[in-house]
Homo-oligomer: A and B are copies of this chain.
Amino acid sequence: MKRWLVGAPMSLAQARHERLSKTVALAVFSSDALSSVAYATEEILLVLVLAGSAATHLTLPISFAIAGLLSVVAISYQQTIHAYPSGGGSYIVARANLGPTPGLVAAAALLIDYVLTVAVSVAAGVAALTSAFPPLVNHRVVLGVFFITAIAFGNLRGVRESGRIFAVPTYLFIGTLGLLVAIGGARWLLGDLPVVPPNAVEPATTSLTWFLVLRAFSSGCTALTGVEAISNGVPAFRPAESRNAAVTMGWMAGILGVLFLGISGLTSVMGIMPAEDQTVISQLGRALFGQGLFYYLIQGSTTLILVLAANTSFADFPRLSSLLARDRYAPRQFRTMGDRLVFSNGIVILAGAAILLILIFQADTHALIPLYAVGVFISFTLSQAGMVRHWLKEHESGWRWRLCINGIGALVTLAVTLVIAMTKFTHGAWIVVLLVPLMVLGFRAIHKHYELVAAELSLDHLTEEPPVENTVLVLVGDLHMGVVRALRYAQSLSPSPKAVFVEVDPTWTARLEDRWSKGGCGVPLIVLASPYRSMLGPLIGYIDRIARRTPSSVVTIVIPEFVPRRWWQHLLHNQTALLVKGALLFRRRVVVVDVPFHLET
């Protein structure tokens, strides 16, 4: 079953072949960033429209500001790619240059945003789908969960196959949206652009303040999420990795900027307002091309790229978790690659968290947006600040102008982080602002624990010790072939094992002692009195007395255990064994051994 879903295991030698060409890498790492075109303009509009329809003329200026921000961030990250060819995620850069805590803050912020990327992208993808096929609107949550599960399985299969799967929809999206922007632009130049009559003139529910404009800007900044993906994934590029990655970063930023500005511009000049039942892109497509084949192609490719955008996170979340685990900040099971050369545990955790968000927020993009982007900009800021420190230490060629670029990047992204956190605080950003420090505390607690354990386990504590004095006891309640098997096993562990019986009913003791002479295998039977019919009290007392005798004493308790053939038969056996095991599990210098007796019946 697992093999059929996930594929045959792959040896480590196959890892080298999993490198990506620039065109495939653009599809794998840029789908998140590019796909945000599908909702960024709409989120700006949704805020501005609170101050009435007239306020929406600010959409284009705000979009230009965001495009400017995009170019600053992209150029900043190209410096990072050159400085960190082995993968320069914010965590690595901030940790290396600013210290462990800033690194962990960046890591926490990024992990949160990877989860949100999956949830937001899938929710927006479902919205694009239901715009085209309105009857599906009631199944949003089910569709969202289905898409996340499908992507998770795709990723569990491994990275190059992922690349192949994702290349087609990404280029289809770039093609169809590019065509939409180009044709729309041409018709605007020719004065042939249709104007959409507004459904209703939106009444202003608030006045147009600077705060509202900044909130609209914050919402639009979701367009930048995912831009950093390439810098994390440099080692997945073909050699020369850094150069290829930086070029791909440039392509991506250019395509993203053009599409985003094109959509915002067309929306503005055509007077499109956000609607309950349709996305802005869907309205644009219908107005420009009618509800024909090309309209469905736009909606289809938008849905696909949004759903697949989540894939960016499925590449990065497990990679970042494994870095954290390598540095002992996360549970060590995130560190191991599965048998398909991907970090399976990270993939599963990410899918689970994103499905949870889809369920809680009922697959509603607008409800998720305020949580989004805060984390990304925190990590942008820390990454750029780290690069500033980097250039101050490493005086490579061109370090002065690189320092300048990263310095500007750091200041701009810091300002945007504060704007987003403040304008969206009450709408949900507080959750992230609260979660980041909590996660950092968690990372540090895990780290401290692993460090202390490592110290405790260090071979420096190795001393000459006398051999372990092992007393082997077989716990019996009766004498039958299962017990005989356990007695014989105990005799293979120790030359002088003893059998221990807790006497609840004295008449039973006499019967047992009688049978013991026949099948006791020469093992002496010790009877412990139990006036209150408790199994455990007398047993634990007896064991403790032996275990405390000398520092090298250990007591091994052998328990015969039935292994029945059917599940319901478990209910009919082993209750006492379970009880004893539970009670002795956490006792020092006591080892419990089950000797299985496989029932044939």
Given contacts A331-B571, A518-B462, A532-B9, contact A456 B468 (CB under 8 A): no
Q: Is A336 an interface residue when CB atoms closer than 8 A count as contact?
A: yes
Report whether A449 and B569 are in contact in the complex, using a CB–CB cutoff of 8 Å: yes
Interface residues of A in 450-471 (CB under 8 A from B): 450, 452-459, 461-462, 465, 467-470
A454 CA to B480 CA, complexed, in Å: 8
Q: Is A240 an interface residue when CB atoms closer than 8 A count as contact?
A: no
Report whether B518 and A492 are in contact in the complex, using a CB–CB cutoff of 8 Å: no
Report whether B594 and A591 are in contact in the complex, using a CB–CB cutoff of 8 Å: yes
A48 CA to B12 CA, complexed, in Å: 81
Q: Which of B338, B455, B481, B491 contacts A456 (CB 8 A)?
A: B481
Report whether A459 and B337 are in contact in the complex, using a CB–CB cutoff of 8 Å: no
Report whether A534 and B482 are in contact in the complex, using a CB–CB cutoff of 8 Å: no
A480 CA to B455 CA, complexed, in Å: 10
Interface residues of A in 277-332 (CB under 8 A from B): 331-332
Q: Which of B331, B336, B456, B562 contacts A600 (CB 8 A)?
A: B456
Name the B residues within 8 Å of A468 (CB-CB).
Answer: 488-489, 491-492
User: In angstroms, how far is the closest chain B Cβ from the Cβ of A506?
Assistant: 9
The DSSP consensus for interface residues of chain A is mixed
User: In angstroms, how far is the closest chain B Cβ from the Cβ of A129?
Assistant: 38
Report whether B449 and A492 are in contact in the complex, using a CB–CB cutoff of 8 Å: no
Given contacts A461-B481, A594-B592, contact A10 B453 (CB under 8 A): no
Name the B residues within 8 Å of A556 (CB-CB).
Answer: 493, 593
Name the B residues within 8 Å of A484 (CB-CB).
Answer: 459, 462
Name the B residues within 8 Å of A600 (CB-CB).
Answer: 456
Report whether B591 and A489 are in contact in the complex, using a CB–CB cutoff of 8 Å: yes
User: In angstroms, how far is the closest chain B Cβ from the Cβ of A571?
Assistant: 6
Name the B residues within 8 Å of A461 (CB-CB).
Answer: 481
Interface residues of A in 1-60 (CB under 8 A from B): 9-13
Q: Is A595 an interface residue when CB atoms closer than 8 A count as contact?
A: yes
Q: Is A104 an interface residue when CB atoms closer than 8 A count as contact?
A: no
Q: Is A510 an interface residue when CB atoms closer than 8 A count as contact?
A: no
Report whether A479 and B459 are in contact in the complex, using a CB–CB cutoff of 8 Å: yes
User: In angstroms, how far is the closest chain B Cβ from the Cβ of A279?
Assistant: 41
Report whether B598 and A588 are in contact in the complex, using a CB–CB cutoff of 8 Å: yes
Name the B residues within 8 Å of A190 (CB-CB).
Answer: none
- The chain B residue sitting closest to A480, CB to CB, is B457
Q: Is A200 an interface residue when CB atoms closer than 8 A count as contact?
A: no
Contact-size category for A: 35 or more
Q: Is A333 an interface residue when CB atoms closer than 8 A count as contact?
A: yes
A454 CA to B573 CA, complexed, in Å: 12
Q: Which of B563, B593, B595 contacts A586 (CB 8 A)?
A: B563
Report whether B572 and A449 are in contact in the complex, using a CB–CB cutoff of 8 Å: yes
Name the B residues within 8 Å of A571 (CB-CB).
Answer: 331
- The chain B residue sitting closest to A339, CB to CB, is B532
Report whether B593 and A591 are in contact in the complex, using a CB–CB cutoff of 8 Å: yes
Q: Is A596 an interface residue when CB atoms closer than 8 A count as contact?
A: yes
Given contacts A339-B533, A481-B462, A515-B459, contact A562 B453 (CB under 8 A): yes
Q: Which of B337, B454, B493 contacts A493 (CB 8 A)?
A: B493
Report whether B594 and A452 are in contact in the complex, using a CB–CB cutoff of 8 Å: no
Name the B residues within 8 Å of A585 (CB-CB).
Answer: 563, 596
Report whether A467 and B492 are in contact in the complex, using a CB–CB cutoff of 8 Å: yes
A592 CA to B593 CA, complexed, in Å: 7
Q: Is A70 an interface residue when CB atoms closer than 8 A count as contact?
A: no
Q: Which of B9, B505, B598, B599 contacts A534 (CB 8 A)?
A: B9
A104 CA to B573 CA, complexed, in Å: 22
A489 CA to B553 CA, complexed, in Å: 10
A595 CA to B519 CA, complexed, in Å: 30
User: In angstroms, how far is the closest chain B Cβ from the Cβ of A511?
Assistant: 13
Name the B residues within 8 Å of A12 (CB-CB).
Answer: 505, 531, 533
Name the B residues within 8 Å of A457 (CB-CB).
Answer: 480-482
A505 CA to B15 CA, complexed, in Å: 13
Name the B residues within 8 Å of A446 (CB-CB).
Answer: 572
Name the B residues within 8 Å of A454 (CB-CB).
Answer: 480
Report whether B458 and A572 are in contact in the complex, using a CB–CB cutoff of 8 Å: no
A456 CA to B565 CA, complexed, in Å: 14
Q: Is A575 an interface residue when CB atoms closer than 8 A count as contact?
A: yes
Q: Is A81 an interface residue when CB atoms closer than 8 A count as contact?
A: no
Interface residues of A in 351-374 (CB under 8 A from B): none
Interface residues of A in 554-580 (CB under 8 A from B): 554, 556, 562-564, 569, 571-572, 575
Report whether A533 and B337 are in contact in the complex, using a CB–CB cutoff of 8 Å: yes
Task: Annotate A464-501 by CB proximity to B: 1 below 8 A, 0 otherwise.
Answer: 01011110000000011110100011011110000000
Q: Is A601 an interface residue when CB atoms closer than 8 A count as contact?
A: yes
Binding site for B on A (CB under 8 A): 9-13, 331-333, 336-339, 446, 449-450, 452-459, 461-462, 465, 467-470, 479-482, 484, 488-489, 491-494, 504-505, 515, 518-519, 531-534, 554, 556, 562-564, 569, 571-572, 575, 585-586, 588, 590-596, 598-601
30 A-B pairs with C-beta separation under 8 A: A9-B533, A10-B532, A11-B532, A12-B505, A12-B531, A13-B531, A331-B572, A336-B533, A339-B532, A339-B533, A339-B534, A446-B572, A449-B564, A456-B601, A457-B481, A459-B479, A459-B484, A459-B515, A461-B481, A462-B519, A467-B488, A467-B492, A470-B493, A556-B593, A588-B598, A591-B593, A591-B594, A591-B596, A592-B594, A593-B593
Identify 4 new A-B residue pairs, CB closer than 8 A, beyond the known A467-B488, A493-B493, A563-B585: A453-B601, A456-B599, A459-B479, A459-B484
